[in-house]
Amino acid sequence: MERDQKVAFITGCSSGMGRESARHLSQNGYRVYAGSRTPEKLSDIASSTLYPILIDITDPTSVAQALEGIDRIDLLVNNAGYGLVSTVEEVTEKEMLAQFDVNVFGVLRMCRYVIPIMRRQNSGVIINISSFLGKIGLPLFTLYNASKYALEGITDSLRYELEEFHIRVHSIMPGFFDTNFARDNLVINDAIFKEDSPYRKTVAQLLPIISEQINSGNDPRDIAQMILEIAENGDAPARQTAGDKARKFIPMRRELSDEDFERRVKVYYGI
């Protein structure tokens, strides 16, 4: 590795935003550790600057092993995550805990291990891949919403906590992107499809729309470019939106009252 080459560690790199971000950073001067539970899926893009690495962010031992021997990290991208589709009434204990274990505690585990490295360097950038649903609620996505709201809170607090060590913390709030998310990264509670589910009307109306919007969404390469820009710009804003839906709904959420915003969402999604 060249002495001045920057080092990035990205989680959730087997597909979508993580894969594109790993590739883009490796092509723009970074040595990239591309973390995944299935690193073999990255063999086709592995190179002298892109190293697939096994990591399970729900397992502290796996996190420690993945980071062992890495003494410099300039950029941490917390990208790994998934969406749980369920009502609160029908969610299982296992589903509920798993959603937070990946989307919230997994991020905290990564930060807990990487921050000491950055603190010793007296520099670093942490970018949390959140969601516009970290600011906006939707039925059936309550647990996912809550996990991303939590991630926004983590971002806000860490910005204060790490400022004196010259570690910047940022959040990217994507809308719907074409990343196979609806096919590969949505976990759906079976109970919501049962005939006796009291929520079957909402499920039948909303879920097909959301799935279609995800799978016909924006290009994940936009996120990869945004990550690079934030990493290289010391004056980057704390959080940025990406994609059509995020740019539509986030400003609207700021401008309208809670009640007016809810009415707009109900009309938009026909719920």
* CA of residue 102 relative to chain centroid, distance: 10
Return the number of other C-beta atoms located less than 10 Å from residue 258's C-beta: 9
How far is it, in rounded angstroms, from Cα 125 to Cα 170?
8
* CA of residue 63 relative to chain centroid, distance: 17
How far is it, in rounded angstroms, from Cα 112 to Cα 149?
20
Q: Cite the active site residues.
A: 14, 130, 144, 148
CA distances (Å), origin 261, targets 10, 144, 249, 265, 266: 35, 20, 9, 6, 9
Residues 6 or more apart whose CB falls under 8 angstroms from that of 177 comprise 16, 17, 214, 217, 218, 219, 220, 222, 223, 242, 243
Q: Which of 111, 112, 113, 135 is nearest to 125 (CA)?
A: 111
CA distances (Å), origin 185, targets 13, 16, 85, 107: 13, 10, 10, 17
